[in-house]
Structure 1
Amino acid sequence: MAPKSDLSPFTITLLLLLIILFPFLSNATANEAHGKISSPVAFLQHLTGCRKGDNVKGINDLKKYLQKFGYLNYNNHIHYDDNDFDELLEEAVKTYQLNFHLKFTGTLDERTIIKMIMPRCGMPDIINGTTSMRAAKIQHQHPELHTAVHYTLPDGNYKWPPSKYHLTYGFLPGCPAGAMAPISQAFAIWGKSTHFKFSHNTKSAQNADLKISFHKRDHGDGDAFDGPGGQLAHAAYPTVGTLHYDAEETWSAGAKAGAVDYGSVGLHEIGHLLGLGHSSVEGAVMFPTVTEGVAYKNLHQDDIQGIKALYKV
């Protein structure tokens, strides 16, 4: 005779349901974990507190992050491909902290990590090995000067010739319909505050001076996007005229919680299209990071001063 079970029919049914559902629950948990791991900047959260002398998995990804934005150039240095927090990395972290108004300790404190994981422009902060946020570098070398940080003009004399102060723009196939009006408004805002005139080429976007398009990951320009939550967009300095948005981001027309405004990113990237680098003024359109749920409606005085200085108008 089989032994009598002490379990009630309800308990037996519940156990059977758990056995049936367990594979699905496990798979959902794995997918959630995979989603967190696949975030392009998720690794930074595990590096809080790291400093010179540490060897922690993920530091090599930090090196690649800082190299992407111009803070590091190892040139086949012995520590380029390892997880050692070396002196060059410490100096790069200090420069990053200075550019973003953080305490420049060289240690990855919580505030530094929070700033690094914010959605941002994919263009470098530092061009050709020289900090494009020059005032911050001066303050690092001479902190007693309390130098004000401001707009930057990347080395290379990137600007449009006087014959091209009237620029046309066009939206290439694949641009979301909801993006066109906010980006057009961004061009209008720049037009009101500068000597440039912008007009929408509705007949032939391919023949426009400035071409706006949306892409995913590797899109053939040598500067692949990294997926949701990382680099939002990038634009070429004059006179190339290309502006690429990351199609995998959550976009909105205007301020919306959990989304990034097409127009605000457009304002920033148009500044690059005209020749401006990043600004160290938090609140300026040309500041590298963008806050979700916020929409910029005007240029900052720092942006206007920068474009006037570049074109001497």
Structure 2
Amino acid sequence: MASKSNLSLFTITLLLVLLTLLCYATASHPHNKSSSPVEFLEHLKGCHKGDKVKGINDLKKYLEKYGYLNYKNHSHSDDDEFDDLLEEAVKTYQINYHLKSTGTLDSKTVSKMTTPRCGVADIINGTSSMRSAKKRHHHGSLHTTAHYSFFQGNPKWPSSKYHLTYGFLPNTPSEATGAVARAFATWEGNTHFTFSQAQSYENADLKIGFQRGNHGDGAAFDGPGGTLAHAFSPTHGIFHYDADETWSVGAVPGATDLETVALHEIGHLLGLGHSSVKGAIMEPTLPTGETRGLHGDDVQGIKALYNV
């Protein structure tokens, strides 16, 4: 029969082993941490031209990522100085998101920047805003202005490819495949396109799946918060969800709706850029717990791109 001292020693050893395993598991899964990749913006509220504050360089990288800033051959690209170029970039961002164009990083601007969003840039190759494809429709004295946009060069599917097939990476959850199928059905009901699921992922025109971090397509994901998903312009046919996000079917507090994001990213697959219209599916940001459907601006954009 084991002595009490031996049992105590065994118990202590077991606890130490369990503690070591717990520490290893925590270290091996850094995404359990709830910090957001855009959390740094909260500490920059109130910053404006002339300030030099730690974290401003991260703001520059954020605005460069989404097309608002290009520091090529500029001395301030790697510092924390709020310079003229950064002020202009903030102003353009504020105009695109219907905020007061002050050039100051006020609370409303920070709130918009920290809202989860699509990874596709708002401004591509220097286009001045998300409203680059304005089109006016006159009915007597009335007119409206569309705010959809296209990718640089207006890439689109050829006339022979109005039926597109889609496929999913292996192990894509059924909740996601169902949400994506519903999103394709919505686009099909509002455009000249038809869609069907391919027999194999490899042969599909549009390839869809979940990825995380740097996954080889030149557009790395950033962990929970920040970038939700991205897709490429025609005819690349790639659409990825960020696997590190919390996803849901429908409006669930603290989670992002799979179908709403699919509607947005399919818009990119068809050739739409971002829109400045609030509530449009091609609006770049999507707060958690919300759902959204196609807007007249989205449908008008597709019809204008394909002349239908």
What range is the shorter-chain TM-score in? 0.7 to 0.9
Checking the alignment, whether the CA contact within 8 Å between 2:281 and 2:294 is kept in structure 1 is yes
The 2-side partners of 1:136 and 1:103 are apart by 22
Give SS of 2:184's match. helix
One of 277, 292, 300 as aligned partner of 2:295: 300
Query: What amino acid maps onto 1:302 in structure 2?
Result: D
Q: Give runs of aligned pairs for residues 176-215 of structure 1, distance below 5 A.
A: 176-201=173-198, 203-215=199-211
Deviation at 1:136, TM superposition (A): 11
2:140 paired residue number:
none
Q: Give runs of aligned pairs for residues 102-181 of structure 1, distance below 5 A.
A: 102-134=99-131, 148=145, 150-181=147-178
Deviation at 1:125, TM superposition (A): 0.2
2:220 pairs with 1:224: yes
Checking the alignment, whether the CA contact within 8 Å between 1:151 and 1:280 is kept in structure 2 is yes
Give SS of 2:160's match. helix
Deviation at 1:174, TM superposition (A): 3.1
Shift of the 207–246 alpha-carbon distance from structure 1 to 2, 3 Å rule, reads same
What is the root-mean-square deviation in Å for CA atoms of aligned residues? 2.3
Query: What amino acid maps onto 1:236 in structure 2?
Result: F
Give SS of 1:199's match. strand
Deviation at 1:131, TM superposition (A): 2.4
2:16 paired residue number:
none
Greater helix share, structure number: 1
Give SS of 1:115's match. helix
Unaligned runs of 5+ in 2: 1-22, 135-143
One of 268, 271, 278 as aligned partner of 1:275: 271
One of 232, 242, 261 as aligned partner of 1:246: 242
The 2-side partners of 1:149 and 1:301 are apart by 9
Checking the alignment, whether the CA contact within 8 Å between 1:119 and 1:291 is kept in structure 2 is yes
Deviation at 1:292, TM superposition (A): 1.2
1:256 paired residue number:
252
One of 36, 43, 46 as aligned partner of 2:43: 46
Give SS of 1:163's match. coil
Deviation at 1:72, TM superposition (A): 0.2
Q: How many residues align?
A: 274
The 2-side partners of 1:268 and 1:253 are apart by 15
1:17 paired residue number:
none
Give SS of 1:206's match. coil
One of 83, 100, 104 as aligned partner of 2:97: 100
Deviation at 1:149, TM superposition (A): 5.9
Q: TM-score, normalised by structure 1?
A: 0.83
The 1-side partners of 2:60 and 2:258 are apart by 30
Checking the alignment, whether the CA contact within 8 Å between 1:135 and 1:148 is kept in structure 2 is no
1:55 paired residue number:
52
Query: What amino acid maps onto 2:298 in structure 1?
Result: D
The 2-side partners of 1:263 and 1:85 are apart by 39
2:138 paired residue number:
none
The 2-side partners of 1:79 and 1:236 are apart by 31
Deviation at 1:132, TM superposition (A): 4.2
Checking the alignment, whether the CA contact within 8 Å between 2:133 and 2:149 is kept in structure 1 is no
* % same residue: 65
The 2-side partners of 1:53 and 1:35 are apart by 34
Query: What amino acid maps onto 1:82 in structure 2?
Result: D
The 2-side partners of 1:76 and 1:266 are apart by 38
The 2-side partners of 1:306 and 1:135 are apart by 11
Checking the alignment, whether the CA contact within 8 Å between 2:212 and 2:223 is kept in structure 1 is yes
The 2-side partners of 1:174 and 1:225 are apart by 19
The 2-side partners of 1:35 and 1:205 are apart by 33
The 2-side partners of 1:41 and 1:221 are apart by 22
Checking the alignment, whether the CA contact within 8 Å between 1:133 and 1:149 is kept in structure 2 is no
Detail structure 1 runs of 4+ shifted over 6 Å in the superposition: none
Q: Give runs of aligned pairs for residues 73-84 of structure 1, distance below 5 A.
A: 73-84=70-81
One of 282, 286, 293 as aligned partner of 2:282: 286
One of 70, 84, 87 as aligned partner of 2:84: 87
